[in-house]
Structure 1
């Protein structure tokens, strides 16, 4: 094997001298697979392979790169049943959501290829700036940045990996892909699908391993030219502190608020809020994580919320179709439970839930949550939803903006003027009017401000982020 050769599947072979990481299901703690814990030398080899493949890949015609992506989307759908089952077992997702993740990902890949074909450069005449003439003009093109490091989270191990990989590849970059440990089996399947679609060797390399061994090493590697990360704010801040002079695209934590005004359709708002807060047990960055409701309609809203929350199915997705599944691990469940206990101790009124069976926490709704309670500010990444009562629109906006996060917010109102007034003042990347907070459609811009992210994602925006502008100035007179 040469220094630039890297084949992850070779590393998957049983080796008595290699350390492996066992992947256990959050549903029953059964071991469902293992992945190699790579060392720094192997990471080096993966990166060098990607670096060596970059010059030829960037020169592959765009239509040929697009055809590989189209084929990958088709292969993904051909294996939807097997991948759905793997998603359920590896990250504890219900089957309906798992299947939707696969189909959405295939759509994402196709749209990425389509969009890249419509991104064009431009020419700029020199005489549009005073002191210059028509004999000087610039040809402006976009070029790939080089080797992209894509780091994906556990909760959407196929979709949020692809949202990084596909735009990077279509732009002519090569990719080092590090999935979350839980979710890495899905990540391996995804990489194999891209390779089966015709991706050349070295263009997409997956690495797995312990963060303590390879985490800091890979984000500070001198041959990484761009980092695209989705995960916690804590980890994101750490990456940004270490990755000197490397462009970043990050989707981090959130504390998305649903602001309910007095003229809102309360039954509609409640249905959206419960769906937005509790699907996949709230393990989503864009989950509704707090309700800010004008006091005069709070009681009526709560009655609708109780009606909706009681419809949620709780349990093991291996046994039936459910909405509330066990959390990804005990650490996550303990954290959510601590938030619930803190709210109880400080006087929050428990409206529904507040029960736990192992890592399964029942959907929990609190009223009269105050700003001294942790659940008012911290991101639970679990099925607990606090209600904070306010006396005015201004108070709701001010309270929403006090958060260190700024991913999304919802505003429910029948008054379009109030909707735009609130939207213009909220310090978030996206405001949803009369809808739950959510990601997508995937060609819309998706971004966070404050501690919720860096840069703008969304298919066109991601492609542009992972390219750089180059100007070639033509001087006709000399």
Structure 2
């Protein structure tokens, strides 16, 4: 059955490998929730499946359901009421370890075929997953569908493509012959086996539970490792659905479904740390805070640890043809999912003496006001704004807004509460935009959420120097800049390469600094403190397996 899965998806796999090599636009899945692509009743069916699951136990076939856990609170409308099988760390590790024995022997074609079949079925479940993400994270539904569905699945396919590419470089059997002059040559047969590392722990986050999880999950699964999926306690359901579908495919392929297991825990339990320190766990994928990511890097020494942590994302404004277009683009980036994205910009550097535009010289205050005004216009109509801002996922983020306001910095655009037209109790806030000087200590740390600083610098050179220094010290996943000067553009590119951060130049249209596209954009570089890996590249997958050889005379 599993060999059939490889044959079924081989054409798609070849397209994915080619797309990763050419880096042009390609996606195996349709990003718009259209009836033509997903079926006339797909939206209604997905919503019905989500509604039917609320206030009920989430049952995983073949899993001990005696102890249940889970207490997700929707940012939109309160408690989900869903409970999940809650296994001990020993139970999870033992189940995954037992299932891995047959899985590790199956070989690359089986691993890749099963992985792609899981992803194709996840795509068919995109609406159910989207509603689960919409209600657990507070994302607007369109973002929940796109980022949590097809775009996340794209990243999964991308990881599988890289895994296949790296594994297929290794031949299985070769005849090695060494000439010996007048004597008979030495002849040996050599067999090379792809050997997975073992158990892989995927630690999910609360804001993008599938997008941030699928790359590591499928990079590990496609290289023959068993995967323990540990969701964030605030966003379990999207990954529980993912695990359920993965287990269905594994069972059909003739494998113990515990190759993919679900590890649920309460918010006050140290399950992630306990799992991370188990000697059986050889790979860890993590997205989240600096504190937790650094702890994993320092303590889980038995594992290969891939982390995406926090950083200070920045924009440099040197000059602009279309200041209104610049302001609108930046405003959208600040408002998108209320800044609850690891790529959301925070510090916006503008020379204190102002900038040059197509309309002439513009002062710092005019630039700052243009950005603030664009934010206010974008969020003026709550019924439209909520589809962009979503809701605040965590009360800690809301408290952070008040902490930023308490800094006493001049307010350019205040954060105001917006009334969600569908969910009256949803916590929706517009971005807070503050004015700061380059010496302000607050700009040297991440303020996760709808918080931004327009920073007055001595010059563009000073802006670039600040941005470079902050990337190297604090990390960043995105870096944006605006300039009409070719010399400055080259200077910016050189600075970004030196600091190790992805750069976006002169975005004024429908592409934003906090968005990346699978098969084309590398998410993260692994070259600054915000992340030690890139999603996805060869380095992200190649160390999830090793090669063991057997040789003998013939």
Task: Report if TM-score (shorter chain) is over 0.5.
Answer: yes
Counterpart check, 1:458 vs 2:458? no
Partner of 1:260: 317
What whole-Å deviation, never above 9, does each CA across 1:70-98 have from its counterpart, x for those lacking one? 32233223222222222111111101101
Partner of 1:164: 216
1:309–1:135 Cα change, 3 Å: farther
Partner of 2:287: 230
Counterpart check, 1:442 vs 2:494? no
Report if aligned partners of 1:270, 1:308 keep a CA contact under 8 Å in 2: yes
Of the structure 1 ranges 278-287 and 255-264, higher mean CA displacement relative to structure 2 is found in 255-264
1:32–1:271 Cα change, 3 Å: farther
Counterpart check, 1:309 vs 2:358? no
Secondary structure of 1:70 counterpart = helix
Partner of 1:324: 389
Counterpart check, 1:207 vs 2:263? yes
CA RMSD between the two structures: 3.4
Partner of 1:4: none
1:213–1:249 Cα change, 3 Å: closer
Counterpart check, 1:336 vs 2:388? no
Report if aligned partners of 1:84, 1:95 keep a CA contact under 8 Å in 2: yes
- CA apart distance, 1:257: 0.3
Of the structure 1 ranges 412-421 and 166-175, higher mean CA displacement relative to structure 2 is found in 412-421
Report if aligned partners of 1:8, 1:205 keep a CA contact under 8 Å in 2: no
Secondary structure of 2:135 counterpart = helix
Query: Unmatched 5+ residue regions in structure 2?
Result: 1-58, 179-184, 356-363, 419-425
1:58 and 1:111 map into 2 onto residues whose CA distance is: 21
Counterpart check, 1:377 vs 2:424? no
Query: Which one of the candidate residues 125, 131, 154 is aligned to 1:107?
Result: 154
- CA apart distance, 1:19: 6.3
Secondary structure of 1:291 counterpart = strand
Secondary structure of 1:234 counterpart = helix
Query: Which one of the candidate residues 97, 116, 122 is aligned to 1:76?
Result: 122
TM-score norm. by structure 2 comes to 0.73
What whole-Å deviation, never above 9, does each CA across 1:254-276 have from its counterpart, x for those lacking one? 11001111256433332332222
Query: Which one of the candidate residues 457, 466, 479 is aligned to 1:399?
Result: 466
- CA apart distance, 1:397: 2.2
1:126 and 1:177 map into 2 onto residues whose CA distance is: 46
Report if aligned partners of 1:312, 1:322 keep a CA contact under 8 Å in 2: no
Of the structure 1 ranges 449-458 and 391-400, higher mean CA displacement relative to structure 2 is found in 449-458
Report if aligned partners of 2:227, 2:259 keep a CA contact under 8 Å in 1: yes
- CA apart distance, 1:438: 2.9
- CA apart distance, 1:30: 3.1
Report if aligned partners of 1:314, 1:323 keep a CA contact under 8 Å in 2: no
- CA apart distance, 1:126: 13
Q: Which residues in structure 2 correspond to 1:254-293 (within 5 Å)?
A: 254-263=311-320, 265-293=322-350
Report if aligned partners of 2:170, 2:192 keep a CA contact under 8 Å in 1: yes
1:226–1:114 Cα change, 3 Å: closer
Partner of 2:488: 418
Partner of 1:429: 501
Query: Unmatched 5+ residue regions in structure 1?
Result: 1-6, 128-133
2:534 and 2:289 map into 1 onto residues whose CA distance is: 17
1:270 and 1:12 map into 2 onto residues whose CA distance is: 54
Counterpart check, 1:152 vs 2:204? yes
Counterpart check, 1:33 vs 2:82? yes
Counterpart check, 1:180 vs 2:250? no
Instruction: Tell me the matched-pair count.
Output: 452
- CA apart distance, 1:369: 4.4
